[in-house]
Amino acid sequence: MLPNFTYERPGSVDEALEHGSSEGAVLHAGGTDLLGCLRDGVFSAKKVVSLSGLEELRGISPTRDGGLRVGALTTLTGVASDPTIAERYTVLAQAAASAASPQLRNQGTIGGNICQRPRCWYFRGDWHCLRKGGDTCYAIAGENHFHCIFGGSGCYIVHPSDTAPALQALGASVRIASRSGSRTVPIESFFLLPADDIQRENLLEPGELVTEVLLPPVASGTRSVYRKVRDRGAWDFALAGLAAVVTMPGDSVETASLVLSGVAPKPWRAAEAEGALTGARLDAETIARVVAASVAGALPLEHNGYKVALVRGLMEETLRALA
Ligand SMILES: Cc1cc2nc3c(=O)[nH]c(=O)nc-3n(C[C@H](O)[C@H](O)[C@H](O)COP(=O)(O)OP(=O)(O)OC[C@H]3O[C@@H](n4cnc5c(N)ncnc54)[C@H](O)[C@@H]3O)c2cc1C
Task: Indicate whether residue 237 lines ligand 1 (CB < 6 A).
Answer: yes
Kindly state the percentage of the chain with pLDDT values over 90: 95
Task: Indicate whether residue 27 lines ligand 1 (CB < 6 A).
Answer: yes
| For residues 243-268, average pLDDT | 96
145 Cβ contact list (under 8 Å, min separation 6): 303, 304
27 Cα nearest atom in ligand 1 = 47
- Read off the DSSP letter of residue 142: S
Residue 110 sits in the same domain as residue 209: yes
**pLDDT for 234:** 81
Residue 190, in any domain of the structure? yes
Where is the domain boundary, 198, 215, 232?
A: 215
Over 90: is that where the pLDDT of 251 sits? no
In the β-sheet with 6-8, what is the strand arrangement from edge to edge? 6-8, 47-50, 25-28
Residue 165, in any domain of the structure? yes
Are 201 and 159 a contacting pair, CB within 8 Å?
yes
Residue 179, in any domain of the structure? yes
19 Cβ contact list (under 8 Å, min separation 6): 8, 10, 25, 47, 49
Range of the domain at 98: 56-115+158-215
> pLDDT for 117-161, tens place per residue?
999 999 999 999 999 999 999 999 999 999 999 999 999 999 999
pTM, rounded to two decimals: 0.98
Mutate to test the pocket of ligand 1, among 2, 47, 94, 115 (most ligand atoms within 8 A of CB): 115
b/e map 38-77, b = 16+ CB within 10 Å: beeebeebeebbbbeebeebbebeeeeeebbbbbbbbbbb
Residue 66 sits in the same domain as residue 211: yes
Over 90: is that where the pLDDT of 196 sits? yes
**pLDDT for 164:** 98
- Count of domains forming the chain: 2
Residue 208 sits in the same domain as residue 282: no
Q: How far is the CA of 60 from the centre of ligand 1 (A)?
A: 19
Where is the domain boundary, 199, 215, 231?
A: 215
Q: pLDDT category, 38, cuts 50, 70, 90?
A: very high
Beta bridge partners of 215: 68
Q: How far is the CA of 113 from the centre of ligand 1 (A)?
A: 4
Task: Indicate whether residue 222 lines ligand 1 (CB < 6 A).
Answer: no
Distinct helix (H) and strand (E) counts, the chain? 13, 12
Residue 318 sits in the same domain as residue 177: no
Residue 192 sits in the same domain as residue 244: no
Kindly state the percentage of the chain with pLDDT values over 70: 100
Residue 82 sits in the same domain as residue 210: yes
Residue 108 sits in the same domain as residue 207: yes
Residue 209 sits in the same domain as residue 62: yes
Residue 283 sits in the same domain as residue 189: no
Residue 206 sits in the same domain as residue 72: yes
The CATH code of the domain that includes 60 is 3.30.465.10
Residue 183 sits in the same domain as residue 271: no
**pLDDT for 266:** 98
176 Cα nearest atom in ligand 1 = 42
CA dihedral 255, 261, 265, 271 (to 10 degrees): -20
**pLDDT for 195:** 98
In the β-sheet with 255-261, what is the strand arrangement from edge to edge? 222-229, 240-247, 255-261, 268-269
Mutate to test the pocket of ligand 1, among 17, 27, 47 (most ligand atoms within 8 A of CB): 27
Residue 17, in any domain of the structure? no
- Read off the DSSP letter of residue 114: H
What integer best gives the mean pLDDT of the chain? 97
**Ramachandran assignment for 315, one of left (phi > 0), alpha (psi -120 to 50 degrees), beta (any other):** alpha
Residue 298 sits in the same domain as residue 210: no
Query: At 102, phi and psi to the nearest 5?
Result: -55, -45
> pLDDT for 227-245, tens place per residue?
999 998 888 999 999 999 9
Q: How far is the CA of 272 from the centre of ligand 1 (A)?
A: 31
**pLDDT for 3:** 87
Q: pLDDT category, 100, cuts 50, 70, 90?
A: very high
Maximum Cα–Cα distance for the chain, whole Å?
A: 61
Q: pLDDT category, 323, cuts 50, 70, 90?
A: confident
Residue 170, in any domain of the structure? yes
Task: Indicate whether residue 240 lines ligand 1 (CB < 6 A).
Answer: no
Where is the domain boundary, 215, 236, 264?
A: 215
C-alpha angle 79-316-165 in degrees, rounded to nearest 5: 30
Q: How far is the CA of 112 from the centre of ligand 1 (A)?
A: 4
**Can you spell out the DSSP letters for 157-211?**
-----SHHHHHHHTT-EEEEEETTEEEEEEHHHHB--TTT-TT-SB-PPTT-EEE
Residue 251, in any domain of the structure? yes
Strands 173-178 and 181-186: antiparallel
Residue 34, in any domain of the structure? no
| For residues 265-289, average pLDDT | 97
The CATH code of the domain that includes 291 is 3.30.390.50
Rg of the chain (C-alpha set): 19
> pLDDT for 168-195, tens place per residue?
999 999 999 999 999 999 999 999 999 9
Mutate to test the pocket of ligand 1, among 50, 75, 116 (most ligand atoms within 8 A of CB): 116
| For residues 206-217, average pLDDT | 97
**pLDDT for 250:** 84
Residue 240, in any domain of the structure? yes
| For residues 102-111, average pLDDT | 98
Report the distance separating Cα 213 and Cα 241, nearest Å: 21
**pLDDT for 235:** 86
